[in-house]
A and B are shown apart, each in its own frame.
Chain A
Amino acid sequence: MRQQYAWRSMTLAGFLGFFALAIIFQVMRIQNSQEAAIFRQQASNYASELKTFYPDRGEIYDRNGHLLAGNKTVYEVGVNLTAVEDPNAVAMTLSVELGVDYAQTLALLQTPPKGLSYVVIKDFVEADKAATLQQLKATMQGQASAGVFGSLTGLEFKAHPQRSYPEGSLASNILGFVNREGRGYFGVEEKYDTLLAGNPVHVVIPTDPNKAMDIPHVPDGTTLILTVNRDLQAAAESILDDGIDTYGAKGGTIVVMDPRNGEILAMASTPRMDLNQFWNYGVIYQNASEFNPAISMPYEPGSVYKILTMAAALDSGTVVPGTQFLDTGQILVGGATIRNWDYGAWGLQDMTGCLQHSLNVCLAWISTQMGPQIFYNYMDNFGLGHLTGIDLAGEAAGRLKVPGDSDWYPVDLGTNAFGQGVAATPIQLMMAASSIANHGRTVIPHVLHTMVREGRQYSAPAQFAGSPISEQTADTLNGMLAVSLEQESSDALVPGYKIAGKTGTAQIPTPYGYYDSTATNASFIGWGPADDPQFMIYVWLEEPSESIWGSQTAAPVFAKMAAKTVVMLDIPPDSVRQQLVSK
Chain B
Amino acid sequence: MNLQNINHLVHAYKIAPWRIQRQWIGNILLAVVTLAMIAALYLDVTAQAAIAGREIQDLTAGIAASQQASADLQTELAVLTSASVMEERAQSLGYQPIESNAVEYLVVPGYSAPQPQIAAVAPQPQLSAPKIIPEYTQSLLDWFAQSISLSPRGLR
Scoring B56, B79, B116 by chain A CB atoms within 10 A of each residue's CB, the highest score goes to B79
A166 to chain B, nearest CB (A): 3
A-B contact count (CB 8 A): 134
| Among listed B32-40, B101-109, B145-153, interface-contacting one | B101-109
* A188-228, CB < 8 A from B: 208-217, 225
B-contact 0/1 string along A125-146, CB 8 Å cutoff: 0010000000000000000000
Stretch binding the partner chain, chosen from A115-123, A295-303, A571-579: A571-579
Nearest Cβ on chain A to B96's Cβ, whole angstroms: 12
Check A209–B100 contact: CB distance below 8 A: no
Alpha-carbon distance between A567 and B57 when the two chains are bound, in angstroms: 54
Residue pair B98, A455 in contact (C-beta under 8 Å): no
Least Cβ–Cβ distance between A341 and chain B, in angstroms: 31
- In the complex, identify which listed stretch (A379-387, A408-416, A446-454) lies at the interface while the others stay far away: A446-454
Q: Mark A230-255, 1 if CB is under 8 A from B, else 0.
A: 11011000000000000000000000
Residues of A within 8 A of B97 (CB): 564
CB-based contact A213/B118 at 8 Å: no
Most B Cβ at <10 Å: residue of A67, A170, A231, A233: A67
Chain A interface bracket (under 10, 10 to 19, 20 to 34, 35 or more): 35 or more
Complex CA–CA separation, A212 to B137 (angstroms): 6
A579 to B101, CA, bound (A): 17
Decide: A215 near B52, CB < 8 A? Known: A67-B78, A210-B46, A583-B107: no
Q: With A and B bound together, what is the CA distance between A13 and B124 in angstroms?
A: 70
Q: B132 at interface (Cβ–Cβ under 8 A)?
A: yes
State whether the Cβ of A161 lies closer than 8 Å to any Cβ in chain B.
yes
- Does A374 interact with chain B (Cβ within 8 Å)? no
Q: A572 to chain B: which residues have CB within 8 Å?
A: 103, 105
**B residues near A494, Cβ cutoff 8 Å:** 100
Let me know if A337 is at the binding interface, CB within 8 A: no
Instruction: Judge whether A234 and B54 touch: CB under 8 Å.
Output: no
A166 engages B82 (CB within 8 Å): yes
Query: B81 at the A/B interface (Cβ < 8 Å)?
Result: yes
* A70-B71, A495-B100 known; A168-B84 Cβ under 8 A: yes
CB-based nearest B residue for A169: B84
Judge whether B83 and A170 touch: CB under 8 Å: yes
The yes or no answer to A580 lying at the interface (CB within 8 A) is: yes
Among B53, B67, B82, point to the contact of A211 (Cβ < 8 A): B53
User: Would A573 and B105 count as touching, CB distance under 8 A?
Assistant: yes
**A56 interfacial by beta-carbon distance below 8 Å:** yes
How distant is the Cα of A231 from the Cα of B67 in the complex, in angstroms?
29
Residue contact B68 to A166, C-beta cutoff 8 Å: no
Question: Which of B17, B83, B122 interacts with A167 by CB under 8 Å?
Answer: B83
CB <8 Å contact, B75 and A231:
no
Q: Say if the beta carbon of B91 comes within 8 Å of chain A.
A: no
* Residue in A59, A212, A234, A583 whose beta carbon sits within 8 Å of that of B52 in the complex: A212
Whether B118 lies near A73 (C-beta < 8 A) is no
> Bound complex: CA of A230 vs CA of B118, how far in Å?
13
- CB-CB < 8 A to A211: which residues of B? 53, 137
For B53, give its contact among A209, A217, A563, A580 (CB under 8 Å).
A209
Residues of A within 8 A of B (CB): 6, 56, 59, 63-67, 70-73, 127, 159, 161, 164, 166-168, 170, 208-217, 225, 230-231, 233-234, 449-450, 452, 454-457, 459, 494-497, 563-564, 566-567, 570, 572-573, 576, 579-580, 583
Could you list 19 examples of A-B contacts with CB < 8 Å?
A: A67-B75, A70-B78, A72-B71, A72-B72, A73-B71, A127-B72, A159-B68, A166-B75, A166-B82, A170-B82, A170-B84, A209-B50, A209-B57, A212-B132, A454-B126, A497-B100, A572-B103, A576-B107, A583-B107
Question: What 20 additional pairs, Cβ within 8 angstroms, besides A6-B17, A216-B129, A572-B105?
Answer: A67-B74, A70-B74, A164-B75, A168-B82, A208-B53, A209-B51, A210-B49, A211-B53, A212-B52, A212-B53, A212-B56, A217-B127, A454-B126, A454-B127, A495-B100, A496-B101, A564-B100, A567-B99, A573-B100, A583-B107
8 closest Cβ contacts across the A-B interface? A209-B53, A166-B78, A67-B78, A234-B83, A455-B125, A212-B53, A563-B100, A572-B105
